[in-house]
Copies of this chain bind each other. A is one copy, B any other.
C-alpha cells in the first residue's frame, strides 16, 4: 500500500509555529463563532496514525483536556523510557532511524501518517520523507518565534494543489511533493 506522510499545521505569515515566548494563543485570536475546525477533522479522518516528537507529546499531555486523538500516536524519543500508563494502547514509543521507525509503523498496518511537531517535521523534511503539507496561514506577522522550517541540504520541490479560505481571514494552502 502506498504510504503518505502528511503535515497539517498552522503558521504565522512569517512562518512561525510559536511566538517569541513559545506561546500559541495567537492561533485562536480570530473570531470563530461557529468553531470552524478549518478542515482538521476531515484531515484526521484520512490518516491511520500520528507521529510526533516528545516535546509535542508532552505539550498535548499538559493540556487540561481529554486525550484528543482517536488514532494511534507514535512518539519519537531517544530519552523517554516509557509511556505513562494512562496512555497504554493509545501511545507507542518509537526510536531509531526514521526509515526504521516508518518500517515498523507500516508493519503495524498504518500507511497514512500525520507527522506533527516542529522538530519532527524538520527531521522528516531533512530526509525528504514528507509527501504533503497543508499549511494554514494565520494572518499575523509575529516578528519572531519558533520557525516551522529549518535548514535543508538541498531544495525540495512541491506544487500547490489547492487553497481554502476560512473565517474571511485565513488561507490554507495544500502542497504536494513533486517527485
Instruction: List which A125-179 residues lie within 8 A (CB) of chain B.
Output: 125, 133, 135, 137, 139-144, 148-160, 162-163, 165, 168-171, 173, 175, 178
For the complex, is A19 an interface residue (Cβ under 8 Å from B)? yes
Chain A interface residue count: which class? 35 or more
Q: Which residues of B contact A158 (CB under 8 A)?
A: 13, 139-141
Q: Which residues of B contact A140 (CB under 8 A)?
A: 155-158
- Quote the shortest CB–CB distance from A135 to chain B (angstroms): 8
For the complex, is A15 an interface residue (Cβ under 8 Å from B)? yes
The complex places the Cα of A149 from the Cα of B145 at a distance, in Å, of: 12
5 further A-B pairs in the complex, CB-CB below 8 A; given A14-B15, A125-B141, A162-B165: A13-B149, A139-B160, A143-B150, A143-B152, A143-B155
